[in-house]
C-alpha cells in the first residue's frame, strides 16, 4: 500500500489486533528509533520516508506510542486492607483535603486526657496581639494543683518568671498541667483566678463551636475534668489540624526536647531540666510532625498524631488504647494505612 505524501512526516501507521504469539526481539529486528512501539498484543506497521515498510512487534510503550481509544485499560489498583487497632476509637484523614481515610467509632464521645491541651495551646495562640515573650510569674496555686491531682507537670518553680513561649513548650512536651494552669490564668478574663480559668475554658468551647464540632466539650484547661471533658477521634483530629496551621504550634509539637531558661525571684537565670516530648512517634516513625499524647483513668491512653511523607500529610487520633506501647502501635498502623491509601 503506498504511503500518502499528505500524512505528517510521511508516516503511515496501521494498528491491528492479532493473537499474541511468543516472539524474540533480536538486535537485527529491533524497531527503528523513529517507529512507534506498543504492547505485544498489537502489531504496529510503520512506514517512514526513506526506510522500507516493515512490521515490528514491540514489547513496551514509549512516549511515541499510539494507543487506540479503549484498546488498553489500566489494571485496577490493589485494595489496601484497613488495619485492626486495639484502641476503642480511631480516625485518620488527609490533612490536605480533609477527606476521611479511616474510622473506628470516630464519633463516639470519650474522655480525652491531656490531648485537651491541643485546644489550650490553640486558644492561647489565637489571642490578639499575642506576645510570646511576655512573662508569667509562677504561682503557688499552680504547684498545689498538680500535687493535689498527681498530674503531669513541667516542674515550674514558684516565683520564677517564665515566657509564654516557654509555657507552651512546657504544656505540649512534658504535658505540664502547671503550665496549662498558668496559661489559663494569664489569658482568661476576670477579677479572680477562678473566674479567669472559667473564662478561658469558655474560650476553648467557643473555639470548638467555631470549628463546627458538636461532639466536643471542655470543662478543664488540661484534661483533668469533672465528667464533662470529652471529644471524639474525628473532632480531636479536626482540632489538631486547625492548630497545625499555626507555625509556632507546629514548631513546638515536633520538638523532641526543650530546655527553658527562666528568671528567678532574685533576677538570676535558672536552667530548667530538659522537657522531653511524650510523643514517642517523633523517634519511632519517620516523618512525624506532632502532635499530643494523653492518658488518664477514664481516657485510657490517647494519641493525636501527624506525619508528612512525599509532600502528603496524614493526621489522626486514637482514643482509649490500653498502654503507651499500644497507642503508638495503633497510630503507626493508621499512619501506614493512610499513606498507602494516598498512594
Catalytic residue among 104, 111, 117, 238: 117
183 lies in a domain? yes
Closest CA to 124 of 157, 167, 161: 167
Active-site residue 329, yes or no? no
Q: What's the pLDDT tens digit per position in 276-308?
A: 999 999 999 999 999 999 999 999 999 999 999
Read off the C-alpha cell for 22: 511468543
Q: Which residues is 321 bridged to in the sheet?
A: 301
Helix (H, G, I), strand (E, B) or coil at 90: strand
83 lies in a domain? no
Q: Cβ atoms within 10 A of the Cβ of 6, count?
A: 6
- Catalogue the E-assigned strands of 77-211: 89-94, 100-104, 110-111, 135-137, 161-163
Claim to verify: residue 100 and residue 61 sit in the same structural domain: no
Claim to verify: residue 174 and residue 243 sit in the same structural domain: yes
77 lies in a domain? no
Catalytic residue among 111, 114, 220, 295: 114
Domain encompassing residue 5: 1-72
Task: Report the predicted TM-score, pTM, of the whole model to 2 decimal places.
Answer: 0.78
Question: Residue 287 — φ and ψ, nearest 5°?
Answer: 95, -5
Active-site residue 28, yes or no? no
Q: What's the pLDDT tens digit per position in 63-101?
A: 444 344 444 444 444 688 999 999 999 999 999 999 999
Report pLDDT for 185.
99
Active-site residue 189, yes or no? no
CB 79 within 8 A of CB 101: no
| Total domains present in the chain | 2
Closest CA to 123 of 194, 19, 231, 211: 211
263-272 long-range contacts (CB < 8 A, ≥24 apart) are 263/135, 263/160, 263/161, 263/162, 264/157, 264/159, 264/160, 265/159, 265/160, 270/157, 270/160, 272/154, 272/155
Mean residue pLDDT of the chain comes to 85
Q: Which helix (H) or strand (E) segment is 240 a member of? A: helix 233-243
Report pLDDT for 252.
99
Catalytic residue among 175, 295, 321, 329: 175
Claim to verify: residue 266 and residue 317 sit in the same structural domain: yes
Amino acid at each position: 500500500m503506498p504511503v500518502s505524501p499528505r500524512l505528517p512526516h510521511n508516516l503511515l501507521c496501521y494498528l491491528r489486533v492479532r493473537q499474541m504469539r511468543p516472539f524474540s526481539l533480536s538486535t537485527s529486528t529491533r524497531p527503528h528509533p523513529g517507529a512507534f512501539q506498543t504492547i505485544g498484543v498489537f502489531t504496529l506497521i510503520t512506514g517512514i520516508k526513506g526506510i522500507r515498510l516493515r512490521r515490528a512487534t514491540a514489547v513496551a510503550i514509549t512516549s511515541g506510542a499510539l494507543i487506540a481509544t479503549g484498546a488498553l485499560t489500566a489494571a485496577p489498583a490493589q485494595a489496601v486492607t484497613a488495619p485492626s487497632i486495639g484502641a476503642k476509637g480511631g480516625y485518620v484523614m488527609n490533612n490536605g483535603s480533609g477527606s476521611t481515610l479511616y474510622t473506628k467509632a470516630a464519633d463516639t464521645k470519650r474522655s480525652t486526657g491531656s490531648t485537651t491541651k491541643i485546644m489550650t495551646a490553640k486558644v492561647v495562640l489565637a489571642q490578639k496581639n499575642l506576645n510570646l515573650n511576655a512573662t508569667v510569674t509562677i504561682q503557688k496555686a499552680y504547684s498545689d494543683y498538680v500535687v493535689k491531682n498527681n498530674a503531669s507537670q513541667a516542674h515550674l518553680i514558684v516565683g520564677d518568671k517564665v515566657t509564654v513561649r516557654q509555657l507552651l513548650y512546657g504544656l505540649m512536651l512534658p504535658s505540664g498541667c502547671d503550665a496549662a494552669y498558668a496559661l489559663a490564668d494569664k489569658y482568661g478574663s476576670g477579677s479572680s483566678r477562678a473566674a479567669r480559668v472559667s473564662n478561658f475554658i469558655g474560650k476553648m468551647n467557643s473555639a470548638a463551636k467555631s470549628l463546627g464540632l458538636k461532639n466536643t466539650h471542655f470543662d478543664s484547661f488540661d484534661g483533668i475534668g469533672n465528667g464533662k471533658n470529652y471529644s471524639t477521634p474525628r473532632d480531636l483530629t479536626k482540632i489538631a489540624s486547625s492548630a497545625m496551621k499555626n507555625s509556632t504550634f507546629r514548631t513546638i509539637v515536633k520538638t523532641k526536647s526543650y530546655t527553658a531558661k527562666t528568671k528567678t525571684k532574685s533576677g538570676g537565670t535558672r536552667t530548667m531540666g530538659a522537657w522531653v516530648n511524650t510523643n514517642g512517634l517523633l523517634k519511632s516513625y519517620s516523618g512525624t510532625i506532632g502532635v499530643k499524647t494523653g492518658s488518664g483513668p477514664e481516657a485510657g491512653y490517647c494519641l493525636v498524631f501527624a506525619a508528612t511523607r512525599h509532600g502528603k500529610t496524614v493526621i489522626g487520633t486514637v482514643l482509649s488504647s490500653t498502654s503507651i506501647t499500644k497507642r503508638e502501635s495503633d497510630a503507626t498502623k493508621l499512619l501506614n494505612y493512610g499513606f498507602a491509601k494516598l498512594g
